[in-house]
Amino acid sequence: METKKALQFIIIFIIIYLISNGLYQYLLWLYAPTPDPITLYTSLILCKIFPEFNATPLLFDAAVLISKSQQKLVNINEGCNGIALITTFLSFVIAFKSTLKNYLKFIPAAILAILLFNIFRLYILIEIKINYTSYFDIFHTYIFPAIIYFITFLLMVLWVKFISLKQTKN
């Protein structure tokens, strides 16, 4: 019985992941070579929260240039907007059965948490690029991906331990 549940979880996870990832790849294709709306929104929200930065869509690079006082700092592309994490997270949560009420409460809050942390991550990375340029690559490539994946993992644990299973026991 447990093997059947585990297999069902894996199959649902893979199907949802492939569909959501496929839809996002289609969105990227629709907007190429310009930035997709999610990347653009992420950049604009970053600049709204931290008004010292400016966002300029790069029309033939599928990215958004972030600058400060006319100084070009970083390009934000589709890998920087958090969608890869969100599709993985959604696939996990939906594959791990619960009630519609739990989904409707937890998923938007968790996605908002991931997006806000991602914007905070972008801000810190830009500040590192400005003030500690030699550390930018290690933070961009290793440290922040590990942190944001860990936060997403904690959200998955929260889902399993305290939200999804709690409802099943009642």
Provide the 10 A C-beta neighbour count for residue 100.
Answer: 7
**Residue 56 and residue 123 in contact, taking contact as beta carbons nearer than 8 Å:** no
Tokens of 26: 């289609």
pLDDT of residue 167: 56
Residue 156: name the closest of 114, 100, 104 by CA.
114
pLDDT digits (tens, 9 = 90+) for 65-94: 999 998 999 999 988 899 999 999 999 999
Rounded Cα distance, 60 and 81, in Å: 18
**Across the strands, what pairs with 54?**
67
C-beta separation of 55 from 64 below 8 A: yes
Instruction: For residue range 94-153, list pLDDT tens digits in order.
Output: 998 888 888 998 999 999 999 999 999 999 999 999 999 999 999 999 999 999 999 999
**Does the pTM of the predicted model rise above 0.75?**
yes
In 132-143, alpha helices (H): 136-138
* Residue 121 CA to its chain's centroid (Å): 11
pLDDT of residue 166: 63
Q: What is the distance between the alpha carbons of residues 12 and 4, in angstroms, rounded to a whole number?
A: 12
Sheet containing 63-68: order of strands: 54-58, 63-68, 71-77
